[in-house]
Amino acid sequence: MTAPAGIDPRGPRFAAWITSALLLIATLLGLTGVAADGTITTASLGERAADPGFVVAATIAVLFIWGVVSPATSPWAVLFRGAIRPRLAPPAELEDPRPPRFAQGVGLLVVGLGLVLHLAGVPLALPIATAAAFVAAFLNAAFGFCLGCQLYLLLQRAGVLGRRGAAA
């Protein structure tokens, strides 16, 4: 099985900066909404869904889904290719797109879990989930360390992901 065409590693890092900012906003809003004031357990499902932190986190979840399903057409990829990359020198090397795509799925899982638990009335589940995702996105943006990519590589080495048996 051959690896897919490489991607510019600066693209996912650029997207991580925007995602970090959105996750920070979601975390702060989650800390000031129904999850923080103690009314989440008595709030209706509609009130929980209308919570500003929930709305921002749900938007981020949609962006994560987009990044998993069609990474080349996701808003941050299009913005990077159209406005940022033309102003940069070519990358020194390209990277395998599968680990960053997997990392988007991990972000979706973490934020999605926070969304579900928030709707179920679990206090502070949403800001904890968005804060955890923020830490991962910020590590990628600021230091180029992608936790989801590292998880992908660990699972690949363990034979769980990305490897197929030799063709007969």
- pLDDT tens, residue by residue, 5-45: 889 999 999 999 999 999 999 999 999 988 676 778 888 89
Torsion angles phi and psi, residue 7, rounded to 5: -120, 160
Is the CB of residue 145 less than 8 Å from the CB of residue 155? no
Confidence of residue 3 (pLDDT cuts 50, 70, 90): low
**What pLDDT is stored for residue 119 in this prediction?**
95
Q: Model pTM? A: 0.89
Q: Which candidate, 10, 1, 38, places its Cα nearest to that of 94? A: 10
**What pLDDT is stored for residue 168 in this prediction?**
33
In Å, the largest CA–CA distance within the chain is: 61
Q: What is the pLDDT of residues 86-130, one digit of tens each?
A: 999 999 999 999 999 999 999 999 999 999 999 999 989 999 999
pLDDT at 134 over 90: yes
**What pLDDT is stored for residue 167 in this prediction?**
41
* Paired strand residues for 95: 7
